[in-house]
Amino acid sequence: MRRLQGLAIVLVSLSALSVQAAPPPAPLAYLSSMVQDPKQGDKTLAVLRGTEDKALVPVFEAMTRSGDKKRRLFGVVALVELAGKDAATVLIERINTDTAMAVRAESLGRLLEQKVLTPEQIAGAMTIPDENIQCLAARALVAKGKADQALPVLARLAASSDGPTATLAQTCLLGLGHRQYEAPVAKAMRDDATTPLLLGALLRQAERQKPTAVLPLALHVAASPHRPINLRVQAYKVAAEVSSLGAATLRDAIGSSKQDALRVRLLKVLSSRDDAGPHVKKLASEPGAVGALARFELAREAGGPAASAAVTAALAQEHPVVIAYVLDRAGEDLAARGKACDFYTPGLLTLIAGVNPRPRQMQKEHFLAAGAAAKLVELGTPAALAGLKKLLSGKVTAVTRTVAAGLLRSQSAAACELVRPLLSSPYEELSADAALALGHFGDSAARPRLADILVNRQRHAPALAVLASWYLLKIDGKTQPAALHLAKLVK
C-alpha cells in the first residue's frame, strides 16, 4: 500500500527530550489548522491521501476546483485513486471548464484509463484548443476503432511545430499504414536527444498498433546501453510483439545480455507471454538469478512443495531485483488464487528473518522484506500468520520493525491482531506503528496511543500527528463530516 511510502519503515519522534505538552487539540481542529497552514497544507493533504480512505473523496474533489493548478492536478490523481470510475463526473467537469490545459489533459488521460468515455465524448475532446489534448483524444479514438474520425486531426497534428505532438501523431498514422511517416518516426526513435518520456509514449503507441516498421527502431532503443533499463525492456517487449519470432526475441535478448537487472526484467516479460513455455524451460537450466527465476516460473503454476522450494531458491539469490520479482508474482498470485498461494510462506518468512537486525539505518533489503510481510498477512493462512507472530515476539531488532512496517502496508484486518501487542512496546516507534495499523481499521484499542501522539505532537513528525488525528476521527465514526469540513478549507 502507498500508506507506507513517505512514512517509510518508521515515523519516529523528532526529539527524545521531554517537553511540556500543550493542551490537546481536537483532532479535527488540528487537521483544519494544518490544511490551512501555507507551509503544511499540501504536505497534510498528501499524508491524508496516503491513508487511501474513501471518506476523503470530498477533500480531493474540492482540490480539483482549487485556485492553484498544482493542487488541481494533485486532486485529479488522488480522486481517481480513491473513487475510480465514480470520479468521472468531476473529471469531465475539469475537461470542459478548467483554465489549465495540463489539468484538462490529466483528467482526460485518467478517464481514458478508466475506459468510461464514449467515442462521442472522446471526439468532443478533439475540439479543445490544445494540441496535446487533441492528440491524446485522436489516438484514443483510433484505439476504439474510430480511426476515420481521428484521421483529419492526426494529419494536422503530424505537421505540428511541437515535436512530441507531431511524432506521436506520426507514429499513430504509421500504425494505420501511412508509410510516409516512417522516416520522421525513425529519426525521433534513433535520436539520442529524444527524451525517455517521449520514447516511452512512442513505444506504447507502437505496442498498441504493432506496425512492422517499428521493429528495427524498437531493437535500436533496446540495444542502447545509455537508455534506462525500464525503457529498454519496454522496447524489447514491443519488438517481441511486432516480430514474427515472438518470445524468441526476448529469450535471445536474455541470452546475449550480461546485465542481471535487465535479464531479470526481460524474463518477467517473457514469462507473461502465452508462447513462453519452451523458452523458459531452456533458461531454467542456467545457473544464477535468471535460472532460479525460470525454475520458479515453471513451478508456481502447480504450487505445492516444488513451488515452495523454487521460491526459497530464488530468494536465496539475495538480489534486490530477484526479490522484487518474486514479491510481484506473489501479489499477482494472491489476487488470483488466494490461500492456495501458501507455498510462498516459508521463503518469505526466511527472507524477513534474514535481514540485517542491527543496521545503522534501514536499507533496501528491509523495505523489500516489509513488502514480504505485507504479502504474508494478506495471504492470512495459519502458517503465514504464525510465522509473522513469531518474528514479532522475539527481541526487538530491525526484523521486528520491518514486520511492523509491512503490517502498516496491509489492507487485511488480520494485521490488527498481530500488532495489538506492540501497543505496549517500550519502543516508541513500534507502539506508534501499531497504533497506526489499528487506527486504519478504526480499532478503538489504538485510541490512547493516538491521543498521546496528538498531545505530544511537538515531539513527532507532523505526518504522524496528522495520521493520528484522522484515525481518532475514524475510531469515533466522524470521518465523513470531518472530510466535508476539510473540503471547505481547501482553496
Q: Which of 144, 149, 103, 151 is nearest to 124 (CA)?
A: 149
At residue 23, the pLDDT reads 59
For the ranges 7-21, 179-193, 435-449, which has the lowest average pLDDT? 7-21
Question: CA–CA separation, 123 vs 116, rounded Å?
Answer: 14
On whether the CB atoms of residues 221 and 235 are closer than 8 A, the answer is yes
Reading the block at residue 42, the C-alpha cell is: 499540501
pLDDT given for residue 291 in this prediction: 96
Q: What is the mean pLDDT of residues 23-42?
A: 92
3-state helix, strand, coil in the chain (%, to 5): 75, 0, 25
113 band by pLDDT with thresholds 50, 70 and 90: very high
At a CB cut-off of 8 Å and minimum separation 6, what does 42 contact? Answer: 70, 71, 74
- Of 17, 35, 64, 95, the C-alpha closest to 482 is 35
Q: What is the pTM of this model?
A: 0.87
Contact between 154 and 123 (Cβ < 8 Å): no
Backbone angles phi and psi of 460, in degrees to 5: -125, 160
pLDDT surpasses 50 at 152? yes
pLDDT mean across residues, the chain: 93
Under a CB-based contact definition with an 8 Å cutoff, are residues 313 and 298 in contact? Answer: no
Pairwise CA distance, residues 257 & 255, whole Å: 6
What CA–CA distance (Å, rounded) separates 79 from 61? 6
Residue-wise over 177-186: b if at least 16 C-beta within 10 A, else e? ebeebbebbb
Polymer length in residues for the chain: 491
Going by pLDDT thresholds of 50, 70 and 90, the confidence category of residue 24 is low
- CA 70/CA 156 separation, integer angstroms: 30
> To the nearest 10°, the Cα dihedral for 6, 12, 15, 18?
140
Q: Of 340, 431, 418, 421, which Cα lies nearest the Cα of 377?
A: 418
The region that residue 380 occupies, defined by phi over 0 for left and psi between -120 and 50 for alpha, beta otherwise, is left
Question: Span 398-425, mean pLDDT?
Answer: 91
Q: Is the pLDDT of residue 4 over 80?
A: no
Average pLDDT over residues 388-400: 92
For the segment 252-291, what is each residue's pLDDT rounded down to a tens digit? 999 999 999 999 999 999 999 999 999 999 999 999 999 9
Residue with cell 495540463: 102
Cell of 293: 527465476
Dihedral, CA of residue 387, residue 392, residue 393 and residue 394, to nearest 10: 100
Residue 18 pLDDT exceeds 90:
no
